[in-house]
Homo-oligomer: A and B are copies of this chain.
Amino acid sequence: MTTASVPMAAPTTRMGSDERRELVLEAATIVFGQRGYSGTTTDQVAAAAGVSQPYVVRIFGTKEKLFLAVLQRALDVLMSAFRRAIAEDSEESVAHRMGTAYVDLLKDRGLLLSLMHGFVLGAETEIGKVARCGFLDVYRFLKNEAGLTAEEAADFLAHGMLLNTLVGMRMTDEYDTDPDARELLDGSLQHKLPLLLEVTDPTRKA
């Protein structure tokens, strides 16, 4: 008999709680992004993060608080990306650089979609509060720090929402089969399109 009869004592070392929290947040972002708030179970998040379900709820308290943390993190990442975009010096316009930065966020899988799910759940008291506040923060940033006019800012947001919608409905699935889908995606993404295709379908060859 071996010294350990316990079933598979973990060979890995333990993890700090901050690190673990961030890991779960990233996993949750992916799952919430594709199934939505109500459609996601804490069990799915736990499985995606490689921890047990009770641990997920203990870290965040409730599923709602977990989703709120996902939303807040997504908004923070978004704002950081925009700040970086307007800080860099380039020949491109500020709006163009921010657009590029926005599309680049697709690499953080589920981030824009989790945001989108939060945005359309304004009827949920707490979620709605975070969504409205976060959205207005972005709008203010576009006007006050990026120097866009009100109309330019609205246009920017509008095309962002269109992109989110196209990604959410997996319009990329029709990219090869439907010329209109291709045209729509080309128009929304321009040179960033290969990134989207790669993110949404890892098997595709460039």
Interface of chain A residues 147 through 191 with chain B (CB within 8 A): 150-151, 154-155, 157-159, 161-162, 164-165, 168-171, 173-174, 178, 180-181, 183-184, 187-188
With an 8 A cutoff between CB atoms, is A206 at the interface? no
A199 vs chain B, min Cβ distance (A)? 14
Question: Within 8 Å CB of A168, what residues of B?
Answer: 119-122
Question: Within 8 Å CB of A143, what residues of B?
Answer: 180
Main secondary structure of the interface of A (DSSP, over half): helix
B34 and A36 within 8 A (CB): no
A sample of 30 cross-chain residue pairs with beta-carbon separation below 8 angstroms, ordered by A number, consists of A35-B38, A36-B36, A36-B117, A36-B120, A39-B39, A113-B120, A116-B165, A117-B120, A119-B168, A122-B168, A122-B171, A128-B170, A128-B173, A132-B170, A132-B174, A132-B181, A135-B169, A136-B180, A136-B181, A136-B184, A139-B184, A150-B184, A154-B187, A154-B188, A155-B158, A157-B162, A158-B159, A158-B161, A161-B162, A161-B164
